[in-house]
């Protein structure tokens, strides 16, 4: 069956695979231009095996050495497993549902840290630097990655938290798609951990989502990140029983190094 694969550019750093039913954004993995980062626009909807085969052939032809997915639901991961993808990371999925009465009082308080919007290229450079400090090597976002996190939802808010001495301490991307809200990315400079930076950022972002009357707010984090899990739970998130899965496929032929 021919799925009618269409490819179109989505900014200079990324493009879109679209088979008419399922879409996926593709860009180079930060700091690893040989790895294609394939992110489904809806992480719960699985592409057909035929579409996945076409996408894989296209990326192999372009010279990528491997494909790494975004976070996938268990159902969406099935065709990837059938085509030889293997799991490299599991993420806890957490949800906060209405009512958000506990957030109304929380969001009315002024965050401990000053919040600033990130609009300029220089500001995005600061966010990428914070991301590099906050995440393990290989999992950090560059500027293009931060922009992709912003584009992942139709509406987004990106804010920088600064200290009393005007030092950048962390940033967060909050997204909204209809009645659903998302914590897309949260990064805190390790030098400022334990100072309430993440709480300030979440207070700001959750307040923004609450004012827009979303019905659910979702966030995912690494299963081993007990500090983040505890923070989200303290703010009212509950961990869902199903984890998310990041998959990878080597495109190297047998015998290649």
Which tens digits make up the pLDDT trace of 71-129? 999 999 999 999 999 999 999 999 998 766 555 455 445 557 899 999 899 999 999 99
What would the mean pLDDT of 3-19 be, rounded to a whole number?
Answer: 56
Percent of the chain scoring above 90 in pLDDT: 75
pLDDT at 189 over 90: yes
Calpha distance 54→4 (Å, rounded): 10
**Helix (H) / strand (E) containing 67:** strand 66-69
Average pLDDT over residues 216-231: 94
Find tokens 């076409």 and name the residue: 54
Could you tell me if 162 and 113 are in contact, meaning their C-beta atoms sit under 8 angstroms apart?
A: yes
Cβ atoms of 39 and 68 within 8 Å: the answer is no
Are 139 and 5 in contact by the 8 Å Cβ rule? The answer is no
Q: Residue 98: its pLDDT value, please?
A: 74
- pTM for this entry: 0.85
- Tell me how many degrees the CA angle 135-151-156 measures, rounded to the nearest 5: 90
**Interval 34-39 mean pLDDT:** 95
When mean pLDDT is compared across 111-125, 129-143, 209-223, the lowest value belongs to 111-125
Q: How confident is the model at residue 184 (pLDDT cuts 50, 70, 90)?
A: very high
SS (H, E, C) 198-252: HHHHHHHHHHHHHHCCCCEEEEEEECCCHHHHHHHHHCCCEECCCCEEEEEEECC
| Residues paired with 220 in a beta bridge | 93
> Other CB atoms closer than 10 Å to residue 133's CB: what's the count?
16
Per-residue pLDDT band for 15 (boundaries 50, 70, 90) equals: confident
**H helix intervals, the chain:** 49-61, 74-82, 101-108, 121-134, 143-151, 197-211, 226-234
Structural domains of the chain sorted by starting position, each given as residue range(s) with its CATH number in brackets = 6-91+243-250 (3.40.630.30), 99-214 (3.40.630.30)
């Amino acid at each position: 069956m021919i799925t009618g694969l269409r490819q179109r550019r989505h900014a200079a750093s990324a493009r879109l695979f679209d088979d008419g039913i399922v879409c996926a954004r593709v860009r180079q993995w930060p700091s690893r231009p040989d790895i294609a980062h394939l992110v489904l626009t809806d992480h719960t909807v699985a592409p057909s095996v035929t579409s996945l085969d076409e996408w894989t052939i296209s990326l192999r032809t372009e010279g990528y050495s491997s494909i790494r997915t975004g976070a996938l639901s268990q159902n969406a991961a099935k065709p990837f497993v059938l085509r030889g993808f293997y799991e490299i990371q599991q993420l806890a999925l957490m949800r906060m549902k209405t009512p958000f009465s506990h957030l109304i009082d929380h969001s009315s308080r002024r965050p401990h840290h000053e919040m600033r919007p990130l609009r300029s290229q220089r500001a995005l450079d600061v966010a990428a630097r914070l991301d590099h400090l906050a995440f393990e090597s290989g999992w950090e976002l560059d500027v293009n990655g931060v922009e992709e996190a912003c584009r992942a939802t139709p509406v987004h808010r990106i804010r920088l938290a600064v200290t009393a001495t005007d030092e950048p301490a962390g940033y967060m991307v909050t997204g909204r798609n209809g009645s659903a809200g998302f914590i897309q990315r949260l990064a805190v400079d390790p030098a400022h951990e334990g100072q309430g930076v993440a709480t300030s950022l979440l207070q700001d972002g959750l307040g923004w989502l609450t004012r827009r009357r979303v019905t659910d707010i979702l966030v995912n984090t690494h299963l081993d990140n007990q500090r983040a899990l505890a923070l989200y739970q303290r703010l009212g998130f509950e961990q869902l029983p199903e984890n998310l899965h990041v998959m990878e496929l080597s495109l190297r032929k047998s015998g290649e190094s």
